[in-house]
Amino acid sequence: MNTRSLLTTLITALFAGPWTAIHAQCVQQFSLGPDTVFCAGNTVLLSASAGFQSYAWSTGSTATSITVGTANTYSCTVTDFGTSGELVVNGDFSAGSTGFSSDYVPGYGGTYGLLSGAGTYATSTSPQLTHVNFANFGDHTAGPGNMLVVNGAQIPGQNIWCQTVIVQPNTDYAFSAWLATAVSESPAQMVFTVNGIVVGDPLLAPFGTGQWLNFYGIWNSGSATSATICISNQNSADSGNDFALDDISFAPFCTYTDEIIVSIQADPQPDLGDDVQVCEGVPVALDATTPNADLYVWQNGSASALFDPVVSGIYWVDVTENGCTTRDSVEVTFETQPTVELGPDQERCVGDPVVLNAFFPGAGYEWQDGSTGSTLTINGTGIYSVTVDLNNCSATDAVSFLYQPLPIVDLGPDTTICADTSITLDVERPGGSYIWDNGESIAQRTISAETTYWVEVTESGCTSRDSLELGIIPLPFVDLGPDLLLCKGLSATLDAYGPGLTYLWSSGDTTAELAITEEDLYQVTVTNSCGQMEDSVTVTQDQCDCPVFVPNGFTPDDDGVNEGFRPVFDCPIEMYMFRVFDRWGGLVWASEDPRESWNGGGNDPNGTASGIYAWMLEIRPKTVNERSLRTLFGHVMLLR
- Tell me the β-bridge partners of 298: 317
Mean pLDDT of the chain: 88
Q: Please state which CATH class domain 346-404 belongs to.
A: mainly beta
Is 234:268 a contact under the CB 8 Å cutoff? Answer: no
Q: What is the DSSP letter of 532?
A: E
Start and end residues for every CATH 2.60.40.10 domain found in the chain: 266-335, 346-404, 484-542
- Superfamily for 484-542? Immunoglobulins (2.60.40.10)
> What is the predicted pLDDT for the residue at 26?
65
Q: What is the spatial distance between Cα 402 and Cα 345, in angstroms, rounded to a whole number?
A: 8
Q: Please state which CATH class domain 105-253 belongs to.
A: mainly beta
Q: What is the spatial distance between Cα 151 and Cα 109, in angstroms, rounded to a whole number?
A: 12
> What is the predicted pLDDT for the residue at 8?
27
Residue 478 has pLDDT above 70, yes or no: yes
Long-range contacts of 104-110, Cβ-Cβ distance < 8 Å, separation of 24 or more: 104/150, 104/153, 104/158, 104/160, 107/151
Q: Residue 311, class by beta-carbon neighbours within 10 Å (0-12 exposed, 13-18 middle, 19+ buried)?
A: exposed
Hey, what CATH topology would domain 553-638 get? Immunoglobulin-like (2.60.40)
> What is the predicted pLDDT for the residue at 14?
29
End-to-end Cα distance, the chain: 91
Q: What is the spatial distance between Cα 243 and Cα 426, in angstroms, rounded to a whole number?
A: 115
Please give the C-alpha separations between residue 574 and each of 407, 540, 545, 634, in angstroms, as whole numbers.
79, 19, 15, 22
CA 589-590-591 angle, 5° bins: 140
Q: pLDDT tens-digit profile of 541-558?
A: 766 777 888 898 999 988
Q: How confident is the model at residue 624 (pLDDT cuts 50, 70, 90)?
A: low
Of 203, 219, 297, the residue nearest 253 (C-alpha): 219
Is 374:357 a contact under the CB 8 Å cutoff? Answer: yes
CA 355-359-365 angle, 5° bins: 95
Q: pLDDT tens-digit profile of 313-346?
A: 999 999 998 888 889 999 988 878 888 999 999 9
Hey, what CATH topology would domain 266-335 get? Immunoglobulin-like (2.60.40)
Residue 561 has pLDDT above 60, yes or no: yes
Start and end residues for every CATH 2.60.120.260 domain found in the chain: 105-253
Q: How confident is the model at residue 583 (pLDDT cuts 50, 70, 90)?
A: confident
> What is the predicted pLDDT for the residue at 530?
92
Q: pLDDT tens-digit profile of 118-167?
A: 999 999 999 999 999 999 999 998 668 999 999 999 899 999 999 999 99
Q: How confident is the model at residue 115 (pLDDT cuts 50, 70, 90)?
A: very high
Supply φ then ψ for residue 128, to 5 degrees: -65, -20
Mean pLDDT calculated for residue range 492-512: 93
Of 95, 86, 89, 88, the residue nearest 7 (C-alpha): 86
Q: What is the spatial distance between Cα 297 and Cα 288, in angstroms, rounded to a whole number?
A: 10
